[in-house]
Copies of this chain bind each other. A is one copy, B any other.
């Protein structure tokens, strides 16, 4: 039986990155799309709890949902797909998801939801700006998907893949990386409404990042595809003992 692959994203069901990923996943399995009806970037791991959601079948195996990427994965796995999928593929995002962006990213959060529901999952993004060369990411999407289907993933862990937005032939291969730190400077602009009221607009600002060959951002800067194993268990284990000692934990 061919693997059943759920394809989703946060740029919306009509995004060219999704089309490219569906094409890629169709080479190795039956691809179903359940994706947001419109762009839902930076919605993070939001779940819609305050209203009902509608899934519209646009054509065979392609559904549009008026919700977040996380909603899409939950609906797909519980309600829409003919069986539990073998893989969740999220992307191809137009823009990087590196460093702390992982905690904001709708693309990565879809893969988180897949992982929580017990389905091996990856997120894939093109690191760079317009124009996006989705074809460059396609062979790596296939390589990562094949790896996951053959080898399985560590418990509670997804793969976060970032492909430099460069011509395919210039990419140097894959590096397994750690999540780096990214900082934004002056990332909020003041703007005024036509009636003179002060508002703020988040965005812009110059990002700084941690350097180091095995870090996600550095790898992309070096022309490598970055593959980071992202663990949903966010416990800082090394901090546990320190805190326990210092806090004089009450025990029974």
**Contact surface of A with B, Cβ cutoff 8 Å:** 41-49, 51-55, 70-71, 74-75, 78-79, 100, 102-104, 109, 112, 116, 147, 151, 153-154, 156-157, 172-176, 178-179, 181, 183, 186-188, 190-191, 193, 197, 199-203, 222, 224, 227-240, 242-244, 246-247, 249-252
Contact = CB atoms under 8 A, between A and B. Distances in A.
Contacts of A78: 186-188
A229 B240 contact: yes
A79 B179 contact: no
Nearest to A204: B49
Contact of A247 (B176, B179, B236): B176
Contact of A240 (B112, B174, B176, B233): B176
Chain multiplicity (copies): 2
B44 A46 contact: yes
A123 B188 CA distance: 24
29 contacts: A42-B47, A43-B43, A44-B46, A44-B70, A44-B109, A45-B45, A45-B104, A48-B202, A52-B200, A54-B199, A70-B104, A78-B186, A100-B116, A103-B232, A103-B234, A153-B239, A156-B181, A157-B239, A173-B249, A173-B250, A176-B240, A178-B233, A178-B240, A179-B234, A179-B235, A222-B252, A228-B235, A229-B235, A229-B236
B249 A175 contact: yes
Contacts of A173: 249-250
Contacts of A109: 44, 103
Contact of A157 (B41, B71, B188, B236): B236
A242 B46 contact: no
A188 B74 contact: yes
B46 A188 contact: no
Given A42-B46, A103-B45, A179 B228 contact: no
